[in-house]
């Protein structure tokens, strides 16, 4: 299919394209916030670390309303590069795909309707206390996943969770997956050393080492995760035995994959990853390498190309800024598939530029 590349288990990726082409997906954005996003240098999902609490609600407002409400403009990196929610919104809008928000735990609530799972803003994993009531959040998300599976063709699930690649690293190491230096970053210079330091501090605080939580995904999230993870995982556990799910994201998807495969491996047959070319081409992370340590999934890649964009803020995506997030790659793939290829990367870029102009008052 034009605009979609494949990697990982290519047969499975082709199967997904055949299976869901022309069908109607539902896009769900799982969100959360935590103190990890506010550790200086960890996340570029906000103009400064303190603002990262506003990024998930602002992202989903953008998806639902085409503009943010809890902040004046759109979330940007410290360099002023716009949130990938701009891509997601444009793709879902073009393809008329319904959107639901599921909140695992937030400090700032979106000015928008969302599915509340009863969770809270996450802690600082350096202290080894990350998410309260993991089981409850996961069980409620599972129920929601079950409900969607009763009447949806397939799900595309994205996330907005500042600091999420650091908690991903923590979860993966705790569960015995070699992820050191392999998780992605929204910055062009991936702060691997800082992430490793944060994770090691957290593991030390609770007295565990590599692999100690291999069979205890709930403990891994409770001590080292973030509130988005049980929400996203629960959705998969609820829907994944029944319908295909495109996990829309970068290396954070692997933490989810580790969690769900430790709880119910019957969902694996229905799981696929959808991401962006920028994420796959990134030299400072290794999505494929960590995915295959868990399961040989089909991976679909939105072949977006912003190099010819009129706007520098968008061209910067080609230089390794942002790369992925808020399900951008998966949403683009879903738009292409739902339209049977009528929506192309070129058409997507045009709509993204139009929305960028409107939002930035250019």
Residues that bind its own copies (CB under 8 A): 24, 26, 64-65, 96-100, 102, 109, 111-118, 140-141, 143-144, 147-148, 150-152
Q: Between 115 and 268, whose beta carbon lies closer to its own copies?
A: 115
Q: What whole-number distance in Å separates Cα of residue 96 and Cα of residue 143?
A: 25
> Which residue, 326, 328, 361, is CA-closest to 58?
326
Q: Residue 148: exposed, middle, or buried by beta-carbon count in 10 A (0-12, 13-18, 19+)? A: buried
Angstrom distances, CA of residue 80 to CA of 278, 305, 311, 320: 18, 19, 12, 14
Nearer to its own copies, 146 or 192 (CB): 146
Compute the least distance from the CB of residue 23 to its own copies, in Å. Answer: 10
Spatial CA neighbour of 55 closest among 86, 94, 91: 86
Closer residue to its own copies, CB minimum distance, 25 or 49: 25
Residues 6+ apart with CB under 8 A from 284: 184, 185, 189, 190, 192, 320
Nearer to its own copies, 148 or 306 (CB): 148
Is the CB of 6 or the CB of 112 nearer to its own copies? Answer: 112
Q: Give min distance, CB of 106 to its own copies, in A.
A: 11
Rank residues 38 and 140 by Cβ distance to its own copies and give the closer one. Answer: 140
Report the nearest approach of its own copies to the CB of residue 211 (Å). Answer: 33
**What stretch of H or E contains 166?**
helix 164-174
- Contact residues for 248 (Cβ-Cβ < 8 A; gap 6+): 27, 156, 157, 158, 159, 273, 274, 275, 327, 328, 329, 330, 331, 333, 334
CB of 119 to its own copies, least distance (A): 10
Question: Minimum Å distance from CB 232 to its own copies?
Answer: 14
CB of 13 to its own copies, least distance (A): 24
Query: d(Cα 259, Cα 217) in Å, to the nearest integer?
Result: 5
Task: Identify whether the C-beta of residue 101 lies closer than 8 Å to the C-beta of residue 113.
Answer: yes
Q: Which is nearer to its own copies, 44 or 117 (CB)?
A: 117
Minimum Å gap between C-beta 186 and its own copies is 28
Smallest distance from the beta carbon of 305 to its own copies, in angstroms?
A: 29
Distance CA 91, CA 279 (A): 18
Q: How many C-beta atoms lie closer than 10 Å to residue 98's C-beta?
A: 11
Q: Which is nearer to its own copies, 24 or 295 (CB)?
A: 24
Does residue 167 contact residue 255 with C-beta atoms inside 8 Å?
Answer: yes
Taking alpha carbons only, the member of 286, 298, 297, 355 closest to residue 84 is: 355
């Amino acid at each position: 299919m034009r605009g979609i590349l494949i990697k990982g288990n290519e047969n499975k990726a082709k199967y997904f394209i055949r299976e869901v082409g022309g069908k109607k997906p539902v896009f769900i954005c799982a969100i959360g916030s935590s103190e990890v996003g506010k550790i200086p240098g960890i996340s570029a999902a906000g103009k400064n670390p303190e603002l990262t609490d506003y990024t998930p609600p602002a992202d989903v407002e953008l998806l639902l309303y085409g503009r943010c409400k809890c902040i004046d403009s759109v979330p940007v990196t410290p360099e002023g590069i716009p949130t990938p929610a701009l891509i997601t919104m444009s793709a879902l809008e073009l393809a008329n795909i319904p959107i639901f928000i599921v909140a695992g735990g937030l400090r700032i609530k979106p000015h928008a309707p969302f599915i509340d799972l009863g969770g809270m803003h996450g802690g600082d994993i350096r202290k080894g206390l990350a998410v309260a009531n993991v089981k409850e959040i996961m069980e409620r998300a599972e129920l929601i996943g079950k409900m969607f599976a009763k009447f949806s063709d397939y799900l595309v699930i994205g996330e907005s969770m500042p600091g999420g690649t650091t908690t991903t690293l923590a979860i993966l190491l705790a569960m015995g997956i070699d992820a050191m230096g392999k998780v992605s970053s929204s910055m062009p210079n991936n702060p691997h050393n800082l992430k490793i330091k944060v994770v090691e501090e957290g593991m030390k605080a609770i007295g565990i080492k590599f692999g100690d939580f291999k069979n205890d995904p709930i403990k891994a999230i409770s001590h080292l995760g973030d509130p988005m993870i049980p929400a996203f995982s629960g959705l998969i556990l609820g829907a994944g035995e029944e319908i295909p799910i495109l996990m829309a994201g970068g290396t954070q998807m692997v933490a989810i994959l580790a969690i769900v495969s430790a709880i119910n491996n019957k969902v694996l047959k229905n799981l696929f990853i959808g991401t962006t070319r920028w994420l796959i081409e990134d030299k400072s992370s290794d999505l494929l390498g960590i995915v295959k340590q868990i399961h040989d999934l089909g991976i679909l890649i939105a072949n977006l190309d912003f190099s010819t964009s009129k706007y520098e803020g968008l061209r910067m995506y080609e230089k390794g800024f942002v790369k992925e997030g808020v399900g951008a790659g998966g949403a683009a793939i879903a738009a292409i598939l739902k339209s049977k290829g009528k929506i192309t990367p070129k058409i997507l870029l045009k709509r993204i530029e139009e929305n960028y102009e409107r939002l930035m008052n250019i």
